[in-house]
Amino acid sequence: MTHAYGASWISARYDQAGFSGFAKVVGTAVLWIPILFWLSGFVIMMVLQSYLPADRRLWKFFQRRMIRITPTWWFGIAFSIGVSILTGVLHNEQPRLMSPIEWLTNLTYTPFIFNQYTEVGVGWTLFIEVQLYLMVISIVTIVKRIAKDNTHALLGNVLLVTGLAGAIFGNRLDTGIWFTSWWPWFALGALNYLASYRRCSPWPAIILAGCMLACLPWNLLNHLTVLKAVILIAITISFHPIAGQKHFGIGKSLTFLGDLSYPYYLLHMPFVRHSNLFATIFEKLHLPFWFAYPVVVMLPMAFAYISKRMLDRIDKFLMAKLFPKNVASGS
């Protein structure tokens, strides 16, 4: 969500005088994407706990997860097109409409594979997220087959090894649309979950965070590097002392943030793209320019909350139709 705040602020202020140092720091919106993947790793590892028993199939988790995220993704595409059309009508301009191949690739999460236009500008993160799901499912599947007992300890070690590999080699393999450089953040979130609920030792998370810290581009020292270092240190310090303290309600809090941030993340981009429209309206109304910032931030948040409630009902309906036994048993 902080990524969306930063992007909204910068988009609204980009063409204005007085582009201050604060705006430059907040405007490095890509900084907050690692937090998104860290949060995802924490929440997904929490969800996967019910799939660790031998009789639970992990690919069912992937199917359920895709059912969960797809309606929101499609709604985000439709919403973005709607805002573009509305803006075109207000400005007497022809809005850009997708071609059939662009529709097909957007609806199937593949526009970046086929080098096609993506209607929702932040869709690449969702494409990476699906890759991260497949990676963690593959790891847990292998761990379940190897370890009959003490599954969490082996899982923690495998996450550590793969996270270290991603931290050391990920940037060399990444072309911008693959998960390799983001896997360490996802793995760190998963390890933080396991440690915070005493499923494994906290040391794998501490070691991985230390390696990620060491692998930052210190030779290109700038505020991005420093802020990433601060984030890594803060995560490590905050999660180590509270290991095992379930009463903090960490899981529920992060799950709520994850559920709300996903539709907000998708829906904020149309407002970001057209934020100067709000600035123009406020200028004509002789209102302070900074009014555009809360509008561009709060409107997509309101839409995200409303759409989340609506899409939760769609999710329950689809789950009941496609997995009636699981829904009936509450699993």
The 10s digit of each residue's pLDDT in 163-221 is: 999 998 877 766 567 888 889 999 999 998 888 878 888 899 989 999 988 888 776 66
Is a pLDDT exceeding 80 seen at residue 83?
no
Residue 130 sits at the vertex; the CA angle it makes with 212 and 38, to the nearest 5 degrees, is 30
As a whole-number percent, the residues of the chain with pLDDT over 70 amount to: 72
Q: How far is CA 171 from the centre of its chain?
A: 19
Mean pLDDT within 74-85: 83
- The verdict on residue 322 lying in a domain is yes
pLDDT band (50, 70, 90) for residue 18: very low
- The verdict on residue 22 lying in a domain is no
SS (H, E, C) 249-303: CHHHHHHHHHHHHHHHHHHHHHHHHCHHHHHHHHHHCCCCHHHHHHHHHHHHHHH
- The verdict on residue 314 lying in a domain is yes
Buried b (16+ CB within 10 A) or exposed e, 189-212: bbbbbbbbbebbbbebbbebbebb
- The verdict on residue 14 lying in a domain is no
Q: Which helix (H) or strand (E) holds 57?
A: none
- The verdict on residue 4 lying in a domain is no
Nearest to 170 by CA among 151, 185, 155: 185
Tokens of 228: 């990433």
Q: How many independent structural domains does the chain possess? A: 1
CA dist., res. 263 & res. 267, Å (int): 6
Instruction: Say which residues have a Cβ less than 8 Å from residue 62's Cβ, sequence separation at least 6.
Output: 133, 134, 137
Q: What is the pLDDT of residue 162?
A: 95
Nearest to 292 by CA among 11, 1, 3, 20: 11
Is a pLDDT exceeding 70 seen at residue 254?
no
- Domain range enclosing 185: 30-329
Q: What is the pLDDT of residue 188?
A: 93
Q: What is the DSSP letter of 99?
A: -
Tokens of 190: 């998963």
Is a pLDDT exceeding 80 seen at residue 123?
no
pTM of the entire predicted model: 0.77
- The verdict on residue 9 lying in a domain is no
Is a pLDDT exceeding 60 seen at residue 50?
yes
Convert the pLDDT of each residue in 135-161 to its tens digit: 999 999 888 888 777 788 899 999 999
- The verdict on residue 156 lying in a domain is yes
CA dist., res. 64 & res. 78, Å (int): 22
Given the structure tokens 């004509």, which residue do they identify?
A: 284
- The verdict on residue 8 lying in a domain is no
